C-alpha cells in the first residue's frame, strides 16, 4: 500500500472530516476574538469652576491591566498623576489563546492526514487511537481554559467598570461609557462550542478504532452455506 499523498475529499462528507473542519473554524474564532483585543473605558473628572476632563484608560490582551498608565487630572492644580488599572488576568487569557492556537495546528495537521493520507490513517489502528486520545485531551483543555477565561473576563469587566473606577477617583468623577466587550463575550461562547465539538467528535473517532470494530466479524451467508453439510 502506497504511503504517498493522495487527495480525497470523501472524508469531508463523513462526520469525522466534517466536524474537524468545524473545529478548525471555531478554534480560529476562539483565539482570534481574544488575542489582539483592545478596549477603552471612560469616566469624567469634574472640577468646580473648571472644565470637565474625560479620562480614557486603555487596556487589551493579554490583560495585564497595570501595564498601560493613564493620566489622572487633579482639580487642585497639581501635576497630573500617572494612574494604573488594577489586576493581572493574563494567565487565563493566554492559556485560552494557547489552547486555541495548538487546537488550530492539530486540526490543520489531521485534515491533511484525512484528505491526503486517509489510506495511511486507516492502515493501522495506531492512527485512530492517537487521534482519539489527543482529541479527548483537547476537549478537556477547552473545558478548563474556557471556564478559566470566563472567570477572568468577569474580573476584567469588574476592573474596567467605570462605576468601579470613579470610586477611586480623588476628585468628583462621573462614570462614562462602559467598554465594548462583545468580542470577548463571543470568545467564551466559542470556547464552550469547541468543547462540545471536540467532545462529540470523540465518538466518531472512537468508531474508527479497533475498540469499536468487531475484530472477528461473523461469517457471511455464502461462507456458512459452503461450510454446511
User: How is 104-147 classified by DSSP, letter by letter?
Assistant: HHHHHHHHHHHHH-HHHHTTSTHHHHHHHHHHHHHHHHHHHHHH
In a domain, 227, yes or no: no
Based on the structure, what is the number of domains in the chain? Answer: 1
pLDDT mean by block of 10 residues, the chain; 229 residues: 68 87 96 93 84 88 89 79 89 97 96 86 83 96 97 95 87 88 96 96 87 54 44
What is the per-residue pLDDT for 227? 45
Spatial neighbors of 83 by CB under 8 A, at least 6 apart, are: 57, 69, 70, 71, 72
Closest Cα to residue 128, out of 219, 218, 20? 20
What is the per-residue pLDDT for 223? 44
What is the per-residue pLDDT for 212? 60
In a domain, 148, yes or no: yes
Contact 93, 159 (CB under 8 A): no
Residue 9 CB coordination number (10 Å): 9
What is the per-residue pLDDT for 73? 83
In a domain, 225, yes or no: no
In a domain, 149, yes or no: yes
Contact 74, 81 (CB under 8 A): yes
DSSP code string of 162-190: HHHHGGG-SSEEEE-PPPP-HHHHHHHHH
What is the per-residue pLDDT for 222? 43
In a domain, 172, yes or no: yes
From residue 181, give the alpha-carbon distance in Å to each of 24, 118, 184, 217, 219.
24, 42, 5, 56, 61
In a domain, 193, yes or no: yes
The range of the structural domain enclosing residue 30 comes to 10-210
In a domain, 218, yes or no: no
Q: Are strands 43-46 and 172-175 parallel, antiparallel or unpaired?
A: antiparallel
In a domain, 164, yes or no: yes
Amino acid at each position: 500500500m502506497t504511503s504517498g499523498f493522495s487527495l480525497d475529499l470523501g472524508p469531508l462528507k463523513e462526520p469525522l472530516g466534517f466536524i474537524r473542519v468545524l473545529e478548525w473554524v471555531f478554534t480560529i474564532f476562539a483565539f482570534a476574538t481574544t488575542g489582539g483585543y483592545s478596549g477603552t473605558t471612560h469616566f469624567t473628572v469634574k472640577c468646580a469652576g473648571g472644565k470637565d476632563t474625560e479620562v480614557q484608560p486603555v487596556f487589551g490582551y493579554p490583560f495585564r491591566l497595570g501595564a498601560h498608565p493613564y493620566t489622572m487630572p487633579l482639580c487642585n492644580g497639581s501635576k497630573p498623576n500617572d494612574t494604573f488599572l488594577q489586576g493581572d488576568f493574563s494567565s487565563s487569557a493566554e492559556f485560552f489563546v494557547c489552547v486555541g492556537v495548538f487546537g488550530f495546528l492539530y486540526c490543520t495537521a489531521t485534515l491533511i492526514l484525512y484528505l491526503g493520507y486517509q489510506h495511511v490513517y486507516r492502515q493501522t489502528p495506531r492512527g485512530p487511537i492517537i487521534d482519539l486520545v489527543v482529541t479527548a485531551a483537547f476537549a478537556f483543555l477547552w473545558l478548563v481554559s474556557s471556564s478559566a477565561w470566563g472567570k477572568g473576563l468577569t474580573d476584567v469587566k469588574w476592573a474596567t467598570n467605570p462605576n468601579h473606577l470613579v470610586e477611586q477617583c480623588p476628585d468628583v468623577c462621573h462614570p462614562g461609557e462602559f467598554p465594548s466587550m462583545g468580542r470577548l463575550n463571543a470568545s467564551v461562547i466559542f470556547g464552550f462550542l469547541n468543547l462540545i465539538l471536540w467532545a462529540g467528535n470523540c465518538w466518531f473517532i472512537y468508531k474508527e478504532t479497533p475498540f469499536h470494530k468487531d475484530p472477528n466479524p461473523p461469517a457471511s451467508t455464502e461462507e456458512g452455506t459452503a461450510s454446511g453439510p
